[in-house]
Structure formats: C-alpha cells, structure tokens
Amino acid sequence: MTTTRHTSVRLTQFAHGGGCACKIPPGELEDVLGALSAPLPATAGTPLLVGLATGDDAAVIALPTQGDTPAQAVVSTADFFTPVVDDPYDWGRIAAANALSDVYAMGGRPVLAVNLLAWPRGVLPFELAREVLRGGLQVATEAGCHVGGGHSVDDPEPKYGMAVTGLADPARLLRNDTGRPGMPLSLTKPLGLGVLNNRHKATGERFEQAVATMTALNRDASAAALAAGATCATDITGFGLLGHLHKLARASRVTAVIDTAGVPYLDGAREAVRDGYVSGGTRRNLEWVAPFTDFGTTDDGTRVLLADAQTSGGLLVAGEVPGAPVIGELVPGGPHTLVLR
C-alpha cells in the first residue's frame, strides 16, 4: 500500500542517508572497535556480562545481589539516525522503537530513556523537532519506559534517537554468541524496509506497511522468545539480515543456513529493488558478507533484500517463536558462516 502525503517540509531531503542505512559500514566499524576493549578489574564489583567482544546489540552488566533481592542485570544502549521518513512524528516513533529494540533483543525490559537530538535550528522550524520528540515519547510510553530528558545540539543535519537503560534476568539473556547446531532460525518482521524507505526518500511515496512495521515494538517477540526458552537472538537493523546473522554465527562458531524461499518480505520490496532504490549501505552490507557467504544459486535481487539495511526491523531468534516464520537453521561450523539455499 502506498500513498503520497504532501507536506511543506520533506525531512529526508535534509539528510545524506536515512535511518539505519546511514550507519558506518560494519567492516570499518570493526576495524576501529577491535582495539578498544578494556575490561575493568574484577574488584570493580559490576561484572560486564556482554561488551564489545561479540558485537551484540547492547551492553549488559550484572548488579551485585543484596540479601534476598533477585539477581538483576542492567542493559544499556544508544541509537540515533537521520530522518528515515518525511513525517516528523513518524520519524520520532520509528527512532524510539528502534532504540528500544536493542534492549528487547537482549531479553530485557526498557525502563528509562533519554532523548538524543541534533537539529539545524536556522534551517528547520523547531516545531518539527517537537513533533519528533512527541513521537518518541508516544512509543516509549507504549513500552512502559520513562523518558527523563536528554541532550540536544545545533547540527547541520537532523538526527534523533535515544539512549535506553533496561533491566533483565542475567540467567535469561538473549545473546548472539549462544547459538548451537540444530537450532531453527525465526524472523519476527518481514524484510524490505530499506528499499521502501529509499524509494520514499527519492519519490515522496508513503508506504504505510513500512511505517507500521518500523513503529511496532519488539516487546512481544522478545517475551515470546524467552517463554520458548530461547537464549540466542539479535535484531535486524542497519547491517541487514545477512550482516547481523553473520555476526551471530561467527560469535556462536556455527554456520547459518537460510531457506531463501521462507524469508518474508514487505509488499513492494521486490519492485523497489527492481526499480533501483537500493541504498549504498545495503550494497556495503552485501560486499562485507560476500567472503563469508555461500550464495548458491540465489538471484541478485534476493541477495540485495537479504542484505537490505533495515530500520527498526524484527528479531532473529535461534529457536521457534509462535507466529514467526522459520527461515533456516544453525549447523556445525563450516568454511562459510552463511549458506543460502
């Protein structure tokens, strides 16, 4: 379903990229981060359960137990990006859902968020920024997460997101390094957000199915994964399904086999690829995973969609999640981390 919304300001035209497609390429990012891990001594008293080592969705520390207080872990993340849609309220909702998703991807519950806002004061009316913040507040309220202020800067390019703190049971985390051979792979949202957003940026067409998908919280999917006994998951955002699954398979020392016929896509996604609305971020994702992937006979359009840079995508869970399609499985590690069938 597509509609055209006429607005006086098209926010996407003020950004060089859009949404999670404007992430720094994964290969470059890993080169920078590789030498930065510096764990604190054990005497620090708050063990780091998840950090930089596996490139997971958020950082996690264990809180010290006191008396009969149940053990708890703190989940911490931050996510922000340039406008992915022209409507400021929708952009705020999408950015908030995307930031909260990192907590859900770890099996946590978001409890506090602070806004991160960059705004070109001399170019865009500040009332639009208020609409962005209103959208973020609406989604955080839906998630039961407080918004306690934030930080703003005057910037040539608009950007918005949140830093989010969550709580989790340290014995029931969802991590990207706990996958084991024999586990099925479930995907909780369809792919194609990146190419539809790129088409929106280029043409102004509005894709309601994409907005609805991006603003949907991953809360229920996370709860269902935990209820099913899952221990391994990640969310699918700027590095695409192939990029995030490569990181999961690499961290878990397994190979992921994808049944390409079982992967769901949004209406209009294949047409957007056919018509050339593919972001540079998606092409960089595909280039990054190519050395680690056995593509088999998969056609070029499908390869692009599997690498498509998603914004506020779904969870990829090593396990079966009720209502989510199974798109593959983990097998013993081989010469590739990814195999397409």
φ, ψ of residue 43 in degrees (nearest 5): -70, -10
Single out the catalytic residue among 20, 22, 145, 232. 20
Report CA-CA distances (Å) from 91 to 19, 68, 104, 128, 316.
9, 43, 20, 11, 23
C-alpha 339 chain-centroid distance: 22
Identify the burial level of 305 via C-beta atoms within 10 angstroms of its C-beta, where 0-12 means exposed, 13-18 middle and 19 or more buried. Answer: buried
C-alpha closest to that of 49 among 181, 169, 207, 218: 169
Strands (E), 63-204: 73-81, 109-119, 146-154, 159-168, 184-187
C-alpha closest to that of 47 among 33, 63, 28: 63
Q: What's 324's DSSP letter?
A: S
Distance of alpha carbon 216 from alpha carbon 214, whole angstroms: 6
Distance of alpha carbon 150 from alpha carbon 81, whole angstroms: 15
CB-based contacts of 208, cutoff 8 Å, min separation 6: 1, 2, 3
Distance of alpha carbon 236 from alpha carbon 79, whole angstroms: 13
C-alpha closest to that of 94 among 314, 241, 312: 312
Q: What's 41's DSSP letter?
A: P
Determine whether 20 is an active site residue.
yes
Output the CA torsion 245→251→253→255 (10° steps). Answer: 0
Active centre residues (catalytic): 20
